[in-house]
Amino acid sequence: MIINKSVQTFKNRLTEVMQGDSVSVFAKKCNMSETVIRDYLSGKTYPSLSRLASIAEKCNVSYCWLATGHKLEDISDTENDNVYNEYIHRIPVYAKQLPTIEEARTQKYVRGTPPVMNYPALDGWLEYRGLDAKKLIIYWAKGDLMEPEIKHNNGLIINTDIREVVDGAIYLLEYKDMTLLRRIRLTLDGWELQCNNDRCATISVLRKDFKQYKVVGCVVQIIKDLY
């Protein structure tokens, strides 16, 4: 059995890329909280793929090395069978959440504002879930209307290949100039667009009005931060 020690040794690689910076300084550099960085350094938690990508980019180091301890150029053909090395797809952001060129140049992302970077997904995970990377987008949730199930700035993987409405599933919808994230309940007359928050009234949509709503896709994965 091959033992993957990458999780246990990640804290050592993280210490190396910090280059003597304090936890406070490094946390600000990576737009993360000090608590998150301390947990990584203690080995209590391990970063998600998106956070690994962010740290690697901020510190100008190899994503592969930061995640696994291996450099792609150092892996020989004879070692390939013993290294977990899958192709990583980049899931694009929902088009309406992309910043303008000017925003991209000047915007700084801090806690409380959604990132717009694409999201990495392993080929094996996509195959296991039966998903086509070309049909996926990521949408960063806004507000608290779907709490506690979906919180502000949670990342949602949307399968745009699913347009047929299934009762009880959560969909991303476009209505006029608005984007809606709602659970759809099927009724005899049409749809009910529901939130988890009582402050938001249920929207009833008659069958004759379906064409006014564009179903962007169905939520197939919720990406949540622990902190």
Q: Is the pLDDT of residue 208 over 80?
A: yes
Domain residue limits at 203? 119-223
Least confident of 54-58, 109-113, 124-128, 216-220: 109-113
Measure the CA–CA gap between 200 and 184, rounded to whole angstroms. Answer: 14
- Give the global pTM: 0.59
Residues 87-122 have pLDDT tens digits of 888 899 898 887 666 665 665 554 445 556 678 888
> Does residue 106 belong to any structural domain of this protein?
no
> Does residue 93 belong to any structural domain of this protein?
no
Residue 116: the pLDDT is 60
Q: Nearest Cα to 149, choosing from 209, 197, 111?
A: 197
64 plus 129 within the same structural domain: no
Q: Which residue has the higher pLDDT, 220 or 5?
A: 220
How does the average pLDDT of the chain come out, rounded? 83
Q: Is the pLDDT of residue 162 over 70?
A: yes
219 plus 127 within the same structural domain: yes
Q: 61, 85, 109: which is the final residue of a domain?
A: 85
Q: Is the pLDDT of residue 158 over 90?
A: yes
> Does residue 136 belong to any structural domain of this protein?
yes
Residues 165-174 have pLDDT tens digits of 999 999 999 9
- CATH number, domain containing residue 205: 2.10.109.10
Q: 85, 108, 142: which is the final residue of a domain?
A: 85
139 plus 190 within the same structural domain: yes
- CATH number, domain containing residue 45: 1.10.260.40
> Does residue 111 belong to any structural domain of this protein?
no
> Does residue 100 belong to any structural domain of this protein?
no
Residues 15-71 have pLDDT tens digits of 989 988 999 999 999 889 999 999 888 888 888 888 888 898 888 888 888 888 776
Q: Is the pLDDT of residue 1 over 50?
A: no
Residues 139-154 have pLDDT tens digits of 989 888 998 899 888 8
Domains identified in the chain, total number: 2
Helices (H), 92-141: 101-106, 123-129
80 plus 132 within the same structural domain: no
- Would you put residue 143 in left (φ > 0), alpha (ψ -120 to 50) or beta? left
> Does residue 146 belong to any structural domain of this protein?
yes
